[in-house]
Homo-oligomer: A and B are copies of this chain.
Amino acid sequence: MSLNALHTPCLLLDKKKLLNNIQRLNTHLSQFDVQLRPHLKTLKSVDAAHYMLEDPSAPCTVSTLQEAKQFAQAGFKDITYAVGISEHKLPEVLDIQNQGITLHILLDSFEQAQFVHAFCQENDCKLSCLIEIDCDGKRAGVKPDDPQLVAIAKILTSAELFSGLLTHAGGSYECHNLDEIRTMAQQEHHAVRVAADRLRLQHIDCTMVSVGSTPTALLGEGFEHITEVRAGVYASMDLVMAGLGVCRPQDIALSVLTRVIGHNREKNWLILDAGWMALSRDTGIASLQYGYGLICDEAGHIIPELCVNSVNQEHGIVALPEGLDLSHFAIGTLLRILPNHACATAAQHAGYQVIFDDEIDYWPRFGGW
């Protein structure tokens, strides 16, 4: 099957690159006594998940209860829902758990621990709770030295609801080089180790000590006293990861297939049939600007100096540099666009056209909450 038969715009997934990326993180982590718990929020595809996890009993991570439900239905058994829990979501969490799934939930306040505790009493059930630790001041979590940490762990432990600690070095996306990422990985590990040590002094043991982000998973070393590592975008990679130096642009497995639908001769612009609806509005990181994505030819080779400079809903505009003529890109020409942020671009599509050797397969994905 040829790409020319596909309707544009659509999402391409290069399976060989996907498998290489998956293998690379597996190989790196195999040096250490730590388990990978892949985050399935990027691709939201059961087919892709089967390549990211050894088997359905292996642990995984999700960002929505919809993902938890879908992956539970697909046979996955050990799922962490890595977004702070609200009371209104607990009945749904229990429903999923009652299907024979271990669904770990996340919290970072005494208030949340109280309502989870009350819910479990009322429903005569146990839920597996992780306390989120803030390792970089970027979002949520309890600081490792916060007095609340012990109070939260105690109320959970008293009801046998406490499983351990989880942190996410989202700050790693703002690093400027690999050394800074290595330092961020140490900071991430240090934060949960300090928190676990404080709990141990109170005779509270952590069964799970979870860290992770793609940059710190790939560059982290040692992982002493850490039980598992989470990473998601490592499987597809994207321009943000390439910009950080975590992969090369040619490692990116995901791209948007588009056709040239017009020329603005006065301005030397190509008009593409991929706008923000196909690419997302994600412009990556301020310090790493590729517009709305780098341009490759139909075969996937990057065309130097070309990116999608601006977008409307269903139009992308590529300003050709001086010396490059519109005649090189006749109307109808197929191009591929590498995504700034794989999670965001993939979310704009219903599935993947999966390229492997000369075959094209289709993997559906899902969305929603």
Contact = CB atoms under 8 A, between A and B. Distances in A.
Interface of A: 4, 7-10, 41, 63-65, 83-89, 92, 108-109, 111-112, 115, 134, 137, 139-140, 143, 170, 259-264, 266-267, 271, 273, 276-278, 280-283, 312-315, 317, 330-332, 343-344, 347-350, 367-369
A348 B66 CA distance: 14
Given A140-B315, A261-B85, A314-B63, A111 B330 contact: yes
Given A7-B88, A139-B315, A281-B283, 20 more contacts: A7-B65, A7-B89, A8-B88, A64-B314, A83-B261, A83-B314, A84-B262, A84-B271, A84-B315, A86-B273, A86-B332, A87-B332, A88-B332, A139-B264, A139-B271, A140-B264, A140-B271, A140-B315, A143-B266, A348-B367
A218 to B, nearest CB: 19
Instruction: Please provide the 6 A-B residue pairs with the shortest distance between their CB atoms, ordered closest to farther.
Output: A281-B281, A84-B261, A84-B262, A281-B282, A63-B314, A140-B262
A267 B330 CA distance: 53
Contact of A277 (B89, B317, B347): B347
Contacts of A63: 277, 313-314
Copies of this chain: 2
A4 B348 CA distance: 28
A2 to B, nearest CB: 12
Contact of A109 (B41, B331, B344): B331
A367 to B, nearest CB: 7
A313 B173 CA distance: 14
A267 B141 CA distance: 12
Contact of A170 (B262, B312, B330): B312
Contacts of A368: 349-350
Most buried by B among A86, A92, A350: A86
A133 B93 CA distance: 54
Contacts of A10: 369
27 contacts: A7-B92, A10-B369, A41-B313, A41-B314, A63-B313, A63-B314, A83-B315, A84-B261, A84-B273, A84-B315, A85-B261, A86-B259, A86-B260, A86-B261, A86-B332, A109-B331, A112-B331, A137-B266, A137-B267, A140-B262, A276-B282, A277-B367, A280-B280, A281-B281, A281-B283, A347-B348, A349-B368
A64 B348 CA distance: 14
Interface of A is mostly: loop
A300 to B, nearest CB: 19
Contact of A344 (B276, B278, B330, B350): B276
A330 B109 CA distance: 11
B369 A312 contact: no
A368 B353 CA distance: 14
Nearest to A87: B332
A261 B267 CA distance: 48
A278 B344 CA distance: 11
A266 B140 CA distance: 10
Contacts of A332: 86-88
Nearest to A83: B314
Contacts of A313: 41, 63, 343
A170 to B, nearest CB: 7
Contacts of A276: 282, 344
A345 to B, nearest CB: 10
Contacts of A115: 331
A273 B143 contact: no
B109 A263 contact: yes
